[in-house]
Amino acid sequence: MPDHAVRLTKHIEFGDIAAAFGLSLPIELGHVSQTTFTRYSSFRGMIHYGGNMPRFSTVFQLSNEQAALDFVDIELSTDTRLYLDPYAIEIREDEWSSICGDHIRSFFNDVLSALRNDDQAHAYHLLSHLREPNETYLGQSSGTPNGRGVGDFKARQFVHALRKSRAFETGLLADISEAELFIEGIGPDTISDLTTNILRGVLAEYTAQQCELHSIPTRAVTSIGPAWNAARLRWEARTFQLPTHKRRPILLVPKIAVRHRMSLDSQEFYNHHMIEFLRQEYLQSGSGLVHTFKNGRKDVFKSSVKERHPFVKDDLADFVRRHPEILDEYKQLKGAQGALAPEDFEKFFDERAFAQVLIERLAAIPFGNEHASAYHSLSVGICTFLFYPSLISPIREHEIHQGRKRIDIKFTNAATDGFFHSMLASDQARALNVFVECKNYTKEMNNPELDQLAGRFGHQRGRFGMLLCRQMDNRQRIVERCRDTASDNRGLMLVFEDADLIQMLTFVVQGRRRAIDRLLRERLSEITD
């Protein structure tokens, strides 16, 4: 944060703050310099977060901002108002989400099984290991994060609420994400905290991978509680390698897993689905709740329906038992909303300005091995910015075949549509992962470089990759070599130089993101048609 930064209070106007950063309003963001964007980023952070609060990326001096990071760039002095959403995780089919889904289902099924077998002691044992998950810095507490975890007392409350609920009695409750819908006293904070605890080990592994990717220092931590073993159905003490801030450990959370509010929300379901269904039902049946207007039009007021059917979670459970299709429709609607966009994380984010800055940063990195780390880091950021949420969970130099080979970057392919989904569905590519190699030099790509990337491919990993280099001396020759590799059924490879990345970033600057998908398909057709 610049020395001349001011602290935002409700008495300071936006214009005053902008002036303190050397900016004037309105800020024109179509084409900005790195200096201007740095000032703009600081200004935006002050407005959005209400003060000079340290973000993870700032404290650990990362070269990438939120839009170029796979995880939530949390504030380290207060909770970021986001929830870890189990439903958002469980509906996804990518590798990371599948692992998380297995953990969530195995734990909750074990709790339900214990209660159905009248084994309250085992249920208490399972839930008593859940603690306040301050390490994610997510939630709604003000000031220093203090969590709202389960603990021994809340574990007993949770078990009691579960046992007496209509949803449990009737066997309706089968998933932790539905607990907020049907269980009295269980709110979104509790569900998010439960999910965080269950996924503690998975999140710790993800955090360690992201720290390796971004060269963030870590240390051994044993103080954040045990990890759930989904295979053995038990809690296990583990030592985690985590970053720390002011001696407090940090767990990073992928952006794909969080929401501003839980996907399944009892009040939303009650107001917009249950009540609306009943309103239409009363209208069609000619109930006494029907109001006839002077022009002959008939309607049923939602307020009248709510008087007859007040908000009670047991009644929600009874309604869903009678009309399960309404819950199914609600889930489909919520699932279709997808992952949060960059502007959902940062109120004043302008992706056109950010794309322009990435173009300038790329052009500013010199060629050569001594600047390879800077090029590598920026390449990860550019790929995340351009291809998220289709490509997620980047891992640096992923080992395969007992460590004999290493890959610059491995992304998990989580695409549900577009180019990368077609690579996932392709029999030839089967791109469960997308491999990216970065070469910070301008010499011509020869067979060794292409063979090196093709050698990473495999049936379990996928057969699609991208090779990033600064400049190609003979592009047509590279295309022919990639075509030969595809013809020999050794995988699909696309080679991109700076000009290609700049072209894709320019599409964003111009507000033409969809053109990126067309460019990728055109490049693929060059080596397959």
Which letter does DSSP use for residue 82 in this model? -
| pLDDT, tens digit (0-9, with 9 covering 90-100), for 314-345 | 999 999 999 999 999 999 999 888 899 999 99
Cβ contacts of 399 within 8 Å, gap of 6 or more: 405, 406
pLDDT of residue 12: 34
92 in helix, strand or coil? Answer: coil
Residues in the chain: 529
Q: What share of the chain is helix, strand, coil (3-state, %, to 5)?
A: 50, 15, 35
**Which residues of 264-331 form beta strands (DSSP E)?**
290-292, 298-300
Neighbouring CB atoms inside 10 A of 487's CB total 10
287: its two tokens: 């109930």
Q: What interhelical angle do 151-164 and 95-116 show, nearest 10?
A: 70
8 Å CB contact between 441 and 367:
yes
Low-confidence ranges of the chain (pLDDT < 70): 1-53, 140-152, 397-407, 442-447
The alpha carbon of residue 60 and the mean position of all alpha carbons in its chain are separated, in whole angstroms, by 20
Number of H helices, E strands in the chain: 24, 17
Determine the 3-state secondary structure of 298 from DSSP: strand
Query: What are the CB-based long-range contacts (under 8 Å, 24+) for 131-136?
Result: 131/197, 131/224, 131/225, 132/193, 133/193, 133/196, 133/197, 133/200, 133/224, 133/251, 134/248, 135/224, 135/242, 135/248, 135/249, 135/250, 135/251, 136/74, 136/84, 136/196, 136/203, 136/251, 136/252, 136/253
Q: Is the separation of the CB atoms in 460 and 387 below 8 Å?
A: no
Q: Tens of pLDDT along 240-263?
A: 999 999 999 999 999 999 999 999
Cis peptide before 26 (omega within 30 of 0): yes
The CA dihedral of 499, 500, 502, 508, to the nearest 10 degrees, is 160
* pLDDT given at position 35: 54
Cis check: omega of the bond before 86, within 30 degrees of 0: no
The CA-atom distances, in angstroms, between 13 and each of 16, 17, 67, 396 are 5, 7, 27, 43
pTM for the model stands at: 0.86
pLDDT at 101: 96
Q: How far apart are CA 474 and CA 229, in angstroms?
A: 52
CA dihedral 246, 247, 249, 253 (to 10 degrees): 10
Contact by Cβ (8 Å): 203, 209: no
What does the alpha-carbon distance between residue 489 and residue 430 come to, in Å, rounded to a whole number? 12
Please calculate the CA angle 230-232-238 and round it to the nearest 5 degrees. 75
